[in-house]
Structure formats: C-alpha cells, structure tokens
A and B are shown apart, each in its own frame.
Chain A
Amino acid sequence: MDYHDYYKTMGVERDATQEEIKHAYRKLARKYHPDVTDDPEGEKRFKEVGEAYAVLKDPEKRAAYDQLGSNWQAGQDFNPPPGWDEGFEFSGPGGGDFGGSAGFEDGAYSDFFESLFGRAQAGGGFGRGGGDFGQSRDTHAHITIELSDSYSGATRTISLSDPEVTADGHVTTRKRTLNVKIPKGIKSGQTIRLAGQGVSQGSRAGDLHLEVDIRQDDRFRIDGSDVYMDLPVAPWEAALGAKLTVPVPSGNIELKVPANSNQGRKLRLKGKGIPSKQPGDFYVVLEVVLPPADSEAAKALYEQMSNEMAFDPRASVR
C-alpha cells in the first residue's frame, strides 16, 4: 500500500492552520471539480483532494495522521504500525465539506485512507454506480467510449457497486457487472436508460441512467454529429491534386484532393460523420506541411520555385 502525503496533495505546509487548509481545499475543489474542469485527471485529483481534506480538516484525524511522522514519502510502501491510533477519537471516515460527503462513492477513498480510518459509507457521487442511497431506486453511472464505438456500435462491460442495507442495519456495497449495448450513433451527453437495472428495493427496481461521453481523440474533433480531422498534405499534393487514404473512425477511405487546394481547405465527406437517421458529415481540413530544405537537392528545388514562379504570398496584406 502506498503512503499518501495529504499535505502535499493540498499544497500546504505541515504546520498549516485549519483556516489555511480550508482555503486550499476550496480553491482545489473548484479547480478540479469534475463538472468544471477540462483536465482529464480532474476527477482523480478531485478525489485525492477530497480525501486529503477529509483527514486534515478533522483535528483528531489530522493529529493521528501527523503522528505517523513526516519522514514518509508519497508513494512509499506503507502499513499502519500496530496501535498507531491509540488515544485518538475519530469515528469512521466522515464526509467532505459543506455538510455532505464530497463527491465520493463507496470505495472512492484510497486503501491507505481505509487502512487508517475505515471504509467510507456509501454516498452519492461520481463514476460507476454512485448510489443515491435511500428512497431512490434509480441509479446513475458514467461511461467513456471511443469515437469508433459510436460509428459501429459496441458492447461494454461496466462495474457497479450498489449500496445495500444488511439485516443488522449496516450499509455495505454489492458489486455487479453489466454488459451493455452501446448503440451506433450515440453522441457525447446522451444517456442510455436501462430499465430495471437500478437498485431494487421493495416491489420495483429502479432504472440505471448510464451517461455516455466520447473520449477525446487528438486526431478528430466532434461538433454535434459532424467530425473534423486535420490532414497533413505535401505542397505538391495540395497544388496538383492527389488521391489519399484517410483513416476515419470507421476505417480507411479514399479522398480526392482537388488541384489548387490551399492550406485550411475543408473537404466534406457527406454522411461520413456520426451515423444516425440524419448522419453527420466528416470534414477533412488540409494542413499543408512544407518539406524541410535540409539537402542540396531540396534547396535547389526551392530555389528553382523562387526563380521561376511569380508568386507573392503577401499580396493580400499590401
């Protein structure tokens, strides 16, 4: 198990005041909140910050954590020494700031945290099977798919942990996995509603609402149903025209670049965007890449163009 340096996570000194810790938490929570951030690591960071704050904001937990010593390095192998928590009175993992449990579902705290302070109670939260525990029988989960999954449809396995009350009144989690069909043509922000796959309590099982997002792919940009791709081309391919093979999410397609194309020219492949009854279009945006003048032969070719072509690239700015 890895040691977690909660002070480092919060970016505060070990002797920080409770007020400084609260201040640091609020700033970091705003920065990394999964609803706010674009950072792909945001959700992970948000959870780390929430866990660090759950310990440092509570004077008893903080004191217990502190007496583990300051010689530990983050990531160092760690096991709590026997009797490490003697003399401290904290009970259970506790929640986050602002009254609720900050964005955590069961199991969201690290093993390190759980070895020290016990397991978190099930609460609402992000990710797989964040259970709105209690009366609600509908549950929510989130899945990230590839763009190619939307082009062709796919099947994905998701893991859920549902909160459950045991006969003696304790809350535990029940793990289950579901195989779910990802329909062709699905777009980011859409939800797959699976009837009867929520938590069953009483007579009727609730529904599972599976929010779907498409993973960012550096090659493609998605705008609604349309997909854009920058395609590097050589100057002669743009100038003379060319037949090129383009890797679109559904496979390779042949593309004809018309002669006299220029940098930034958009070529539309009708209906090759995200499929649906009204499929989107696929746009190839030409990006002319200059070959380097790094050999005598290449330099000679550029010089020949310079001498023989009456070309003024700055005609429009004169």
Chain B
Amino acid sequence: MTARNPKPLTGKLCDDSDEITVVELCRICSVDEDLVGELIAQGILDPVNHLSGRTVLPYSSVRQTRTVIRMQRDLGVNLAGAALALELIDRIHALQSRMRR
C-alpha cells in the first residue's frame, strides 16, 4: 500500500453543516446505540430532530463522542463527569477566544 508520491487524495470537508445518523455515528466511533442514547440523554450530543421523526446529529458529534470515550478510558470519569468536563472546556475556549480579540 505504501507508494511514493501518489496523487494526493481529496476528501470531503466535514463540519457542523454535515449531518450523520445515529447508526453512522456508531460505525464511525465503534460504539453501540445505547451509548449514543446516553450521550444524548446527558446533553453531550445535540440531535437535530427532523420533521420526518428521523434523528440526525451534527458531524461534530464524532469528535465529542471520541473525546468522551477517551476521557472514560483514560481518566475514569463517568458520562456526567465527561459532560461537565466538556462544558468547562467549551467555556475555557470561549473565554480564550474572547481574550484574543
């Protein structure tokens, strides 16, 4: 598979305007639907409810889910603790960006 100077690959740029389904998120992050349900219940993931009744999530759910998994695994925090940590990290980032202006 290793090749020298192959033609550069072009990917799809994903941000929050991209939506993924719960099933897709489970596949991308190797988690089961129960965990996604708990992440939604904890308010860590913010689903977008379509009129059709289908639940979709913003693509940023991938980063959030992976962060929570790492925090659980590496720091031993439970979901509520991870939710709090994410909230505080967000607040720090918001303050940092306010300081920068």
Binding site for B on A (CB under 8 A): 26, 29-30, 33-36, 46, 50, 96-103, 124, 126, 132, 134-138, 140, 155, 174-181, 183, 186-187, 189-195, 197, 206-211, 221-223, 228
Contacts and interface: CB of A to CB of B under 8 A. Distances in A.
Interface stretch (B33-41, B49-57, B68-76): B68-76
Interface string B38-49: 000000000000
B97 A223 contact: yes
Contacts of B6: 178-179
B27 interface: yes
A26 B81 CA distance: 15
Nearest to A160: B1
A179 B2 CA distance: 11
Contacts of A175: 2
Interface in B59-73: 59-60, 62-63, 66-67, 69-73
A194 B72 CA distance: 27
Contact of B74 (A102, A176, A177): A102
A98 B14 contact: no
A191 B62 contact: yes
Contact of B30 (A26, A136, A222): A136
Interface string B10-48: 111111000000000001111000000000000000000
B14 A30 contact: no
B35 to A, nearest CB: 13
A30 B73 contact: no
Given A179-B8, A223-B101, A33 B13 contact: no
Given A33-B70, A102-B74, 10 more contacts: A26-B76, A35-B89, A100-B73, A140-B66, A155-B8, A189-B63, A191-B63, A193-B11, A194-B11, A197-B9
Contact of A183 (B13, B63, B66, B101): B13
Contacts of A96: 73-74
A192 B11 contact: yes
Contacts of A136: 27-30
A207 B9 contact: no
Given A98-B74, A190-B14, A228 B101 contact: yes
Given A29-B74, A191-B14, A207 B2 contact: no
Contact of A179 (B5, B27, B69, B100): B5
24 contacts: A29-B75, A33-B75, A35-B70, A50-B74, A96-B74, A103-B73, A103-B74, A132-B29, A136-B30, A138-B29, A174-B1, A178-B9, A179-B7, A181-B8, A181-B9, A181-B10, A192-B11, A192-B14, A194-B11, A197-B9, A197-B11, A208-B11, A211-B63, A228-B100
Nearest to A221: B100
B88 to A, nearest CB: 9
B85 interface: yes
Interface of B: 1-3, 5-15, 27-30, 59-60, 62-63, 66-67, 69-76, 85, 89, 97, 100-101
Contacts of B10: 181, 183
Contacts of A98: 72-76
Contacts of B15: 187, 189-191
Contacts of A210: 11
Contacts of B14: 190-193, 209
B2 A35 contact: no
Contacts of B5: 179
Contact of A99 (B62, B67, B73, B89): B73
A179 B73 contact: no
A33 B81 CA distance: 15
- Among B1, B30, B60: residue with most chain A CB under 10 A: B30
B89 A36 contact: yes
Contacts of B59: 191
A97 B8 CA distance: 39
Nearest to A176: B1
